[in-house]
């Protein structure tokens, strides 16, 4: 009844379960509390059900944080190769999809089962659904009041993740606890999220929903919170705006009110301007329609939409003025457009912002001014690029914390 835990971990998601397993196997008495009926839901829905559990190339440059150096120590101590070894030891089959992204061959559930097995090996007690009602520090002990009684421990690890997908139980509890202990919190914002548009320029592109093509995209600026980015990935046109890996990546850098730049000629091996100039200046194209000329460098439906947008649909190329050609060139190779917003927390994959890394020790994830209070995973102001980096952060920060407990 009066058991004192070595640590109570609030949140049994990726970071919480991973940390619990390791700490338990290091002979720590660990209790995990989670308010959800079913644990590991974000893992289950990740990577289209196959969980992109890490990335072969994960490095500090794949993360956004006000302090980009913060991730270095944890990632160096627990690199993606370490997690891959664990996955291999469970004989979970996986494959590389794109740019080092590793996915389960079968199901994300295998990663969840693996985390539970690791917890079982460490005799971790997992209680859920349990609501943590308050957390306080009294006479050198951490006291967690729940709807099911009071628990005491030497440490508390906050691992309740970020705000995306409220429907599966996302809350700001870790951020609330950080604030309760006077830790600075960087404003949370949806990231890796589709962008919406109201601009007239976008109107006739809505009809192309479902079209996907490789493009180059740029967002942010040197002076903005996380700097500027350039990605060469696929873009997906949707009924609500733009999505696909290129746009999700750019959304993390995009700042409200600013434009994003798209080079629609981003197909592999095509050098945008050169190919555009070559096609535009080719004498043999004089009698072709504008849309068919554009269609030689981009999908036909998109070529038609752009020609239509500039009132050049059906117009013979010889009849298109120099000025209009320049306008078209700008449109297809330097499209600068202001998104109206993002599709918000419902559609975001991760959260930007969170507990300010200045408040935490990068070796242990412990709050500098509150001995025994830790923050791991997505609730920390560390956000990965698309491609398995966010899980790698969950594992690496969980590992650092587990060894410090």
Judged by the rule CB under 6 A, the positions of this chain that interact with ligand FAD are: 10-16, 33-36, 39, 42, 45-47, 51-52, 132, 159-161, 164-165, 169, 171, 173, 349-350, 377-378, 388-391, 394
Residue number with CB closer to ligand FAD (98 or 368): 98
In angstroms, what is the minimal distance from the CB of 104 to ligand FAD? Answer: 10
Whole-number Å distance between alpha carbons of 146 and 168 = 20
Return the residue nearest ligand FAD (CB atom).
Answer: 13
Burial of 137 (0-12, 13-18, 19+ CB in 10 A): middle
In angstroms, what is the minimal distance from the CB of 187 to ligand FAD? Answer: 18
In angstroms, what is the minimal distance from the CB of 262 to ligand FAD? Answer: 24
Residue number with CB closer to ligand FAD (186 or 331): 186
In angstroms, what is the minimal distance from the CB of 54 to ligand FAD? Answer: 7
Residue number with CB closer to ligand FAD (248 or 312): 248
In angstroms, what is the minimal distance from the CB of 275 to ligand FAD? Answer: 33
- Which residues, at least 6 apart from 139, have a Cβ–Cβ distance to it below 8 Å? none
Half-sphere exposure of 183 (CA within 13 A, CB side): 28
| Pairing outcome for strands 149-158 and 4-10 | parallel
Q: How many CB atoms lie within 10 A of CB 192?
A: 25
With CA atoms as reference, report the closest residue to 74 among 381, 364, 353, 305.
364
Output b/e per residue, 227-249; b: 16+ Cβ within 10 A.
Answer: eebebebbbbbbeebbbbbbbbb
Q: How many CB atoms lie within 10 A of CB 294?
A: 27
Residue number with CB closer to ligand FAD (276 or 350): 350
Residue number with CB closer to ligand FAD (217 or 379): 379
In angstroms, what is the minimal distance from the CB of 171 to ligand FAD? Answer: 4
Residue number with CB closer to ligand FAD (272 or 384): 384
In angstroms, what is the minimal distance from the CB of 361 to ligand FAD? Answer: 18
User: Contact at 8 Å (CB) between 16 and 43?
Assistant: no
Residue number with CB closer to ligand FAD (173 or 306): 173
Category of 257 on φ-ψ map: left (φ > 0), alpha (ψ -120 to 50) or beta: left
In angstroms, what is the minimal distance from the CB of 325 to ligand FAD? Answer: 42
User: Contact at 8 Å (CB) between 339 and 194?
Assistant: no
Preceding peptide of 129 cis, ω within 30°: yes
Residue number with CB closer to ligand FAD (121 or 346): 346
User: Contact at 8 Å (CB) between 294 and 284?
Assistant: no
């Amino acid at each position: 009844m009066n058991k004192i835990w070595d640590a109570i971990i609030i949140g049994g998601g990726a970071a919480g379960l991973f940390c619990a397993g390791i700490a338990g196997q290091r002979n720590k008495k660990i209790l995990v509390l989670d308010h959800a009926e079913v644990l590991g839901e974000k893992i289950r829905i990740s990577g289209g059900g196959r969980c992109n559990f890490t990335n072969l190339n994960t490095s500090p440059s794949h993360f956004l944080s006000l302090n980009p150096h913060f991730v270095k120590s944890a990632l160096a101590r627990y690199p993606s190769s370490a997690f891959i070894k664990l996955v291999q030891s469970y004989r979970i089959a996986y494959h590389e999809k794109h740019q080092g992204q590793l996915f389960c061959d079968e199901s994300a559930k295998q990663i969840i089962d693996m985390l539970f097995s690791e917890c079982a090996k460490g005799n971790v007690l997992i209680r859920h659904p349990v609501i943590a009602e308050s957390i306080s520090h009294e006479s050198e002990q951490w006291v967690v009041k729940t709807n099911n009684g009071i628990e005491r421990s030497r440490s508390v690890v906050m691992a309740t993740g970020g705000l995306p997908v409220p429907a599966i139980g996302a809350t700001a509890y870790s951020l609330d606890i950080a604030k309760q202990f006077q830790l600075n919190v960087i404003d949370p914002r949806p990231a890796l999220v589709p962008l919406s548009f109201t601009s007239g320029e976008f109107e006739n592109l809505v009809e192309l929903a479902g079209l996907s093509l490789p493009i180059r995209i740029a967002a942010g600026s040197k002076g903005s919170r996380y700097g500027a980015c350039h990605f060469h990935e696929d873009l997906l046109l949707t009924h609500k705006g733009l999505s696909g890996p290129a746009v999700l990546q750019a959304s993390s850098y995009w700042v409200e009110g600013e434009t994003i730049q798209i080079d629609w000629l981003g197909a592999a091996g095509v050098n945008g301007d050169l190919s555009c100039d070559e096609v535009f200046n080719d004498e043999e194209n004089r009698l072709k329609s504008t849309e068919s000329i554009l269609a030689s460098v981009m999908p036909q439906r998109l070529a038609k939409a752009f020609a239509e947008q500039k009132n050049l649909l059906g117009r013979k190329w010889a009849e298109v003025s120099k000025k209009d050609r320049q306008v078209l060139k700008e449109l297809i190779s330097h499209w600068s457009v202001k998104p109206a917003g993002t599709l918000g927390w419902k559609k975001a994959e991760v959260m930007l912002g969170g507990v300010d890394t200045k408040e935490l020790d990068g070796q242990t994830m412990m709050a500098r001014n509150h001995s025994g209070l830790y923050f791991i995973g997505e609730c920390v102001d560390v956000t990965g690029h698309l491609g398995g980096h966010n899980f790698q952060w969950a594992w690496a920060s969980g590992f650092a914390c587990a060894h410090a407990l």
